Amino acid sequence: MRWFILSDIHANLPALNAVVDHMIANGLTKDNPMAFLGDIVGYGPFVNECCDWVFDNCRVILPGNHDHGAVLSWREKEGQDVPIGYPSNPQAARAMDFAADNLTDANVQRLSTLIEGNYVLGSGKAVFAHCDPAKPQKMRYVEKSADASYRFIRTTIPQDHAFVGHTHIPQLYRKKKDSTIEVCMLMGESVEFSVKDYRSLIVVPSVGQPRDGNPQTGYVTYDTNSRVITVHRLDYAVEEQQAEMLKQSFPPSLITRLRDGR
For 18-62, write each residue's pLDDT tens digit: 999 999 999 999 899 999 999 999 999 999 999 999 999 999 999
Mean pLDDT of the 144-161 span: 92
Split into its structural domains, the chain has a count of 1
**Does pLDDT of 6 surpass 80?**
yes
- Residue 176, pLDDT score: 82
Mean pLDDT of the 94-98 span: 94
- 8 Å CB contact between 235 and 176: no
**Does pLDDT of 87 surpass 70?**
no
Closest residue by Cα to residue 211 from 252, 260, 244, 177: 260
**Does pLDDT of 80 surpass 90?**
no
C-alpha 33/C-alpha 221 separation (Å) is 10
Residue 42, domain CATH: 3.60.21.10
Q: Which residues contact 56 (CB under 8 A, 6 or more apart)?
A: none
- Residue 64, pLDDT score: 97
C-alpha 93/C-alpha 19 separation (Å) is 26
Share of the chain above pLDDT 90, in %: 82
**Does pLDDT of 77 surpass 70?**
yes
User: What is the span of the domain harbouring residue 158?
Assistant: 2-260
175 forms beta bridges with: 181, 199
The SS3 assignment for 21 reads helix
- Residue 148, pLDDT score: 92
Question: What is the pLDDT of the chain when averaged over all its residues?
Answer: 94
- Residue 76, pLDDT score: 85
Q: What is the pLDDT of residues 112-144, one digit of tens each?
A: 999 999 999 998 899 999 999 999 999 999 999
- Residue 57, pLDDT score: 97
The SS3 assignment for 69 reads helix
C-alpha 42/C-alpha 70 separation (Å) is 7
Q: Which residues contact 256 (CB under 8 A, 6 or more apart)?
A: none
Q: What is the pLDDT of residues 194-251, one digit of tens each?
A: 999 899 999 999 999 999 999 999 999 999 999 999 999 999 999 999 999 999 999 9
Strand pairing report for 126-129 and 228-234: unpaired
